[in-house]
Amino acid sequence: MTTAIEIRNVNKQFVLRHTRSMKEAFVWLMKGRKGDLSERFHALADVSLTIEEGETVALLGFNGSGKSTLLKHISGVMRPDTGSVQTRGRVAGLIEVGAGFHPDLSGRDNVYLNGAILGMDRAEIEERFDSIVEFSEIGQFIDTEVKFYSSGMYLRLAFSVAVHTDPEVFLIDEILAVGDEPFQKKCLAKIAELAAEGKTLVVVSHDLDMVAKICERGVLLDHGRVLLDGPVDEVVKRLRQG
């Protein structure tokens, strides 16, 4: 087995109170740097995790446990304060699908733009365009501006672009909460298909039944620490016990 994601002793602190103006910072400097300009808290504390290629891992935990922060470290959006994160191959996020969508552009333009944002080149997008539209079930609305889409249509198109990026590592953050049931099922089937193809999946979701179906391994986070790492059923059971 080859390692897909390696996370070693990652620490991340967040600043709670921000100073947004030079005036405040200046006053603080003049007062002899008295007091902390900002409060800090540990979002991730000494997290180590190795994920092999083809593993399906659920990151579990309550709100604020650091799941999404960890996902952002894997995608490269955030950098650890100390420790290291390494990944192999293309990493694509279904982290808040549609982040790269612009409401004033047509569905077609958004497919190209979002595809490029997710790391596809022109040839790849053109090759997969029909498949993206077909999967999204957008049909003739593809040339309509996205702002006129229903939230379901919007999500379907965004999800469709993301699954067509064909990454080695797939990061999925709480995306299946929207969309109607048939489409949710279709998404789950697609995700299961990706898992069967040997893609590495890292899923964050509060829908415990769903992640138990998709993932094999569970990692329980609490206040930025890894509490438990094992088969997903055990971890879900532990989380439900509270």
Partner 1 sequence: MTDRSAAGGGPRDELVAPGYGHGLRDVVRSRYLLKLLVQKELRVRYRGSVLGLLWSYVKPGVQFVVFYVALGVFLGLEQSERNPAGLPNYAIYLFSGIVLINYFNEALGNASRAIVSNGGLIKKIYLPRELFPIASTWVSAVHFVPQILILLVACLFSGWSPTVLQLAAAVAGFLIVTMFAIGLGLLFGAVNVYFRDAENLVDMLLMVATWASPVLYPWLLVREKLGETFFLIYQLNPITVAVETFHFAFWLPTTERAEAIPPNLLSLWIPVALVTSGLMLVIGQLVFRRLEGRFAQEL
**128-187: which residues touch partner 1 (CB under 8 A)?**
165, 167-169
Nearer to partner 1, 19 or 227 (CB): 19
Burial, 59: exposed, middle or buried (Cβ in 10 Å; 0-12, 13-18, 19+)? Answer: buried
Residue 189's contacts (CB-CB under 8 Å, 6 or more residues apart) are none
17 binds partner 1 (CB under 8 A): no
**Using the rule CB under 8 A, is 76 a contact of partner 1?**
yes
| Residues β-bridged to residue 171 | 93, 202
Q: Is 25 in the site for partner 1 (CB under 8 A)?
A: yes
Q: One symbol per residue from 96 to 125: x for binding partner 1 (CB under 8 A), - otherwise; what is it? A: x--xx-x-xx---x--xx--xxxxxxx---
Task: Give the C-alpha separation, 182 to 136, whole Å.
Answer: 12
Tokens 């059923």, residue located: 233
Q: Please tell me whether residue 87 binds partner 1 under the rule CB under 8 A.
A: yes
Give least dist CB 27 to partner 1, A.
Answer: 14
Give the nearest distance from C-beta 204 to partner 1 in angstroms. Answer: 13
Q: Which is nearer to partner 1, 102 or 190 (CB)?
A: 102
Q: Is 52 in the site for partner 1 (CB under 8 A)?
A: no
Half-sphere exposure (Cβ direction) of 152: Cα atoms closer than 13 Å? 9
In angstroms, what is the minimal distance from the CB of 174 to partner 1?
A: 12
DSSP string over 17-72: S---SHHHHHHHHHTTS-S-SS-EEEEEEEEEEEEETT-EEEEE-STTSSHHHHHH
Q: Are the C-beta atoms of residues 44 and 10 closer than 8 Å to each other?
A: yes
Query: Applying CB under 8 A, which residues contact partner 1?
Result: 3, 6, 14-15, 18, 20-22, 25, 72-79, 84-93, 95-96, 99-100, 102, 104-105, 109, 112-113, 116-122, 165, 167-169
